[in-house]
Amino acid sequence: MAREGAVGAGVTEMPPRYSEFQRFCSVFFSRSLVLIGLIITVAAVILALFAPILAPYDPNKQNLSQRLLQPSREHLLGTDALGRDTLSRIIYGSRASLMVSAGALFVATFVGVLLGLIAGYFGGIAYMFIMRFIDALMAFPTILLALVIAGLLGGGLTNIVLALGIGLISSFARLMCAQVLSVKENDYVLAGRAMGASDLRMMFMHILPNSFPPLIVQVSLWVGFAILSEAGLSFLGVGIQPPTAAWGAMINDGYKYLLTNPALSFAPGVAIMLVVFGFNMIGDGLRDALDPRLRGRL
Amino acid sequence: MSGFIVHRLIQTVFVLILVSLIVFVVMRFLPGDPILLYLSEDQVRNFTPQQIAEVRAQFGLDKPVMVQYVDWMRGLFRGDFGISMSYRIPVWEEISRRLPITFYLGSIAFVVSILLGIPMGLIAAVRRGKWSDTVATLLANLGITLPVFWLGILMIYLFGLYLRWLPTFGYTSPFENFWLSTRQAIMPVICLTIFATASSARQTRSAMLEVIQQDYIRTAWAKGLKERVIILRHALKNSLIPVVTLKGISLRNIFGGSVLVETVFNVPGMGRLAVDAMMSRDYAIVQGVILIIAVVVCLANLIVDISYSWLDPRIRYG
């Protein structure tokens, strides 16, 4: 019933020959919010990639004679305390935001998947130690752990990515472990073992690929959180180091001029919201399309 | 039931040991000398190598790492968290002054997220496709999109500076001046709770939608039970299981949020302390704060898990 709902009305006359990909698309694109999210996300990625072409001004060029200008036709969102164009800095800020969150998610997924795979596959003492370690890691709020690690390591792109990545590991390890435990019960795992496949082969050639769909959903649902955390860190002053533009730091800088130039703080926040919203919607769409329990129902 | 609780207690003790190990390793093996836990950077610069060696010996930093860990743990049990460089008082004194503040605001935020988030998700699921579902879902999606520190700034601008309804910053104990304290707490609590409320609403909605399709719900309808009974007793109780799991995580996020929210509203709590200490490189404080927050989160999770076993008998007897 769930499948019929997804592929439409013509099902009753002829058995459908829809591929998984078609089914995925029909669910994924059926909700307008997901489509809007996709457009926003693609726009943000294009902005980040082509920032030098799209930005009207050099984001770091100071012009003290033009400081704290109100929004106007030359400067659509005004200028900051150093006379830098706010719109250009927001466009460039998308780079910091996307790079840090993508990097952090990569680190977290890589380590988390490895830990979860080992814990779930071997079970026993490995399971106990790894999962209790993950429990312990879970006790630290992501942003606090990232704040401390980034503070100790010092700023810079790599360190922020590492710090935030470590803060996010626990969720992925948990999911992966649960996933492995359920995939392991399948007959093809038993068959593979009977044919003498090695542990490594079983783990990486059979169990890992079969655990992918929920993992992709999980990653996509965490992108928004990663972007928010990156913004929070840079708001606190431990993100990408100035003068490189970062949205969180821009909000913090603009805070001082809240009464006279509210756009300085408001505009980067709107940028964060839009991008997070875009990724969240894609995450929801992926979940609806890939989750076997929801297959096409939503 | 008691077997489950005992098992869970032992597990928590084990996790707490690992928590302390993580804090110990992070603070000692990352770049920077562990001597900075006991001396400020200026002192280290001005001391002669011999003086530094003396300090090392005094605090046991010349001993093997395992011995250092055991010594450190012994100190913790005596309430010895070291001395703060910037406040010149024992770390525990500063923390015990600030923990209740974060705890007070955080627990209100936590309770609000339950009292508001779960009914929101419930209504959205029951009235699926109606306007109340649209509004609730939209609000929930907005709630997980907002950067909390930015929301804080927006509210300060609107309610504090523009409308002048609420004080823009600070914290007063509710025992001192209840009215002022409540007025000051409103905006920080909204910021702390918004992500947790929105995510419980989302989770409740999707869990309810899933449960409503189960056979036993159809049976309950067929038996002619009232809608209220079906929704509240049969559907909601089963939908709450994934939501309660999430509440454990949202506790951790509320503490994480307090780092940002307390900075925006200038609330002298644990989160603010962590940021200030990190900026002034007061590592003894940093170490104490992350340790205490992690321990609090662990213990809170223990409580959550025990309540979980009340909801889901499979865990109690399994």
Per-position DSSP letters for B18-84, written without gaps between them: HHHHHHHHHHHHSSS-GGGGTS-HHHHHHS-HHHHHHHHHHTTTTS-HHHHHHHHHHHHHTT---B-
User: How confident is residue A15, by pLDDT bands cut at 50, 70 and 90?
Assistant: low
For A238-293, the pLDDT digits (tens) are: 877 777 888 888 888 888 887 788 888 888 999 999 999 999 888 888 887 776 65
Q: Is A34 in a helix, a strand, or coil?
A: helix
What's the rounded mean pLDDT across residues B99-113?
92
Residue A253 in tokens: 């800088």
Do the chains contact at A136 and B148, CB–CB below 8 Å?
no
The ipTM value here is: 0.86
What's residue A68's pLDDT? 72
What's the rounded mean pLDDT across residues B207-230?
85
State the distance between the two ends of chain B, measured CA to CA, in whole angstroms: 10
Q: Where are the domains of chain A?
A: 37-42+85-292
pLDDT at B62 over 90: no
> E-assigned strands of chain B?
none
pLDDT: is B123 or A58 the higher one? B123
Q: Which CATH architecture has domain A37-42+85-292?
A: Orthogonal Bundle (1.10)
What's residue A42's pLDDT? 93
Residues of B within 8 A of A228 (CB-CB) are: 147
Q: How far apart are CA A113 and CA A103, in angstroms?
A: 15
Q: Which of residues 31-70 of A touch B (CB under 8 A)?
A: none
Q: Is A75 in a helix, a strand, or coil?
A: coil
B-interface mutation test, from A129, A144, A170, A175, most B Cβ less than 10 A away: A144
Residues of A within 8 A of B32 (CB-CB) are: 152
Do the chains contact at A258 and B156, CB–CB below 8 Å?
yes
pLDDT at A2 over 50: no
Judged by a CB distance cut-off of 8 A, whether residue A135 touches chain B is yes
Q: How far apart are CA B38 and CA B43, in angstroms?
A: 10
Instruction: Check if the beta carbon of residue B307 is closer than 8 Å to that of residue B250.
Output: no
Q: How far apart are CA A65 and CA A69, in angstroms?
A: 10
pLDDT at A81 over 80: no
For B244-303, the pLDDT digits (tens) are: 777 778 888 899 999 999 999 989 999 999 998 888 878 888 888 999 999 988 888 888
For B163-199, the pLDDT digits (tens) are: 888 887 778 888 888 888 888 888 999 999 999 999 9
Q: How far apart are CA A135 and CA B54, in angstroms?
A: 38
Whats the size of chain A, residue-wise? 298
What's residue B149's pLDDT? 92
Residues of A within 8 A of B21 (CB-CB) are: 136
Partners of B83 in the β-ladder: B90
pLDDT: is A47 or A68 the higher one? A47
pLDDT at B209 over 50: yes
User: How confident is residue B30, by pLDDT bands cut at 50, 70 and 90?
Assistant: low
Q: Which residue, chain included where needed, has tokens 């029951």?
A: B126
pTM score, whole prediction: 0.87
Instruction: Check if the beta carbon of residue A246 is closer than 8 Å to that of residue A234.
Output: yes
Amino acid, single-letter form, for residue A172 = F
DSSP A31: S
Instruction: Check if the beta carbon of residue B37 is closer than 8 Å to that of residue B284.
Output: yes
Q: Which residue, chain included where needed, has tokens 């489950």?
A: B4
Longest dimension (CA), chain A: 77
A-interface mutation test, from B30, B145, B192, B291, most A Cβ less than 10 A away: B145
What's the rounded mean pLDDT across residues B48-52?
78
User: How confident is residue A294, by pLDDT bands cut at 50, 70 and 90?
Assistant: low
Do the chains contact at B26 and A232, CB–CB below 8 Å?
no
What's residue B317's pLDDT? 58
What's residue B105's pLDDT? 92
